[in-house]
Amino acid sequence: MPPKRPVAERIVLKVSEEEAGQRLDVFLSGKIGQASRSTIRRWIDSGHVTVRAQAAKASRRVKRAEEIRVTPAPPEPLDLLPEPIPLNIVHEDNDLIVVDKSAGLVVHPGAGNRQGTLANALLYHFEQISRSHGIRPGIVHRLDKATSGLLVIAKNEQVQEFLAAQFKQREVEKIYLSLVYGRLKKKQGVVDVSLGRDRRARTKISTRSQRARQAVTHYQVIHCYSDFTYVQVIPHTGRTHQIRVHFQHLGHPVVGDDKYGKTAFRQVENPDLCLAIRDLDRHFLHAFRLSFLHPGTKQKVSFEAPLPEELAAFLSALG
């Protein structure tokens, strides 16, 4: 096998008979050193990899003797400013960091959120952190702004790829705690309903999307109250807003979820509880446990984060 080539200003590669049939991204990863799979994928997606003068797709199967031309794209600018935002550090070692994100904290910059994010806080608190993903330093998965709980952060590019592969292959176990409206009839169940972008409201996820992808959520009832059900939830896929939309689909939206259950609080008879839901200023969804294979030891590790005070207090108010 020929040695990996370093990144140059321009690269021209010829496919051998043994390499024919590989996916383009796999082929390039085996040929180019100093460039991660995620970096190569970014080059492909941005049109910097061509075959026969045409931009190629990552899934394209390379053919014998054809030439692959690569013009490495400049790295994404890391225009983030470190900010002294408090973080709850659950674990830290030479490879990674596990944080318990508070509700209200956006994970990484986006439209309308260029500052005050978890990414800004990571740059402030840690000198060593993966910079390969530009404005998402070390981040391999995310939680919604109003969701609290555990996130794992990579300290270098190799760890970031190792962890990202586990998420992609669905080898990471994520357990959430949630309170939903109404009483679930089944003590446990599986929701296997595909999800995708809503055809009309692009910021929402829907079960009636034209480009829906498989989404599977398992739940188990912990306790039933008069107007609520406290559940443990395991998402077997990682679709955007998956848990929230699946419980909306069941007719039991997550408590406090204004996007997928804005009027559901009206079914609650106790006016004090209705007021308490409004005062929560978040939805009742918490990433309680996170288990994965550690990149250093190759052993399974598991971390837990207790319910935040505001959610624990709300449960206590239910009696």
By annotation, the residues acting in catalysis are 144
Is residue 286 within 8 Å of residue 88, measured between CB atoms?
no
DSSP character string of 189-234: EEEE--BEE-SS-TTSEETT-TT-B--EEEEEEEEE-SSEEEEEEE
Question: The tokens of 128 are what?
Answer: 């060593």
Is residue 153 within 8 Å of residue 139, measured between CB atoms?
yes
- Residue that is written with structure tokens 């918490």 in the block: 286
Nearest partner of 237 among 287, 173, 289, judged by Cα: 173
Segment (H or E) for 266: none
Q: How many CB atoms neighbour CB 109 within 10 A?
A: 19
Q: How many CB atoms neighbour CB 198 within 10 A?
A: 16
Q: Which amino acid is at 53?
A: A
Is the alpha carbon torsion for 146, 104, 130, 81 positive or negative?
A: positive
For 107, counting Cβ atoms within 10 Å of its Cβ (0-12 exposed, 13-18 middle, 19+ buried), the class is buried
d(CA 29, CA 61): 14
For 224, counting Cβ atoms within 10 Å of its Cβ (0-12 exposed, 13-18 middle, 19+ buried), the class is middle
- Residue that is written with structure tokens 């609650």 in the block: 268
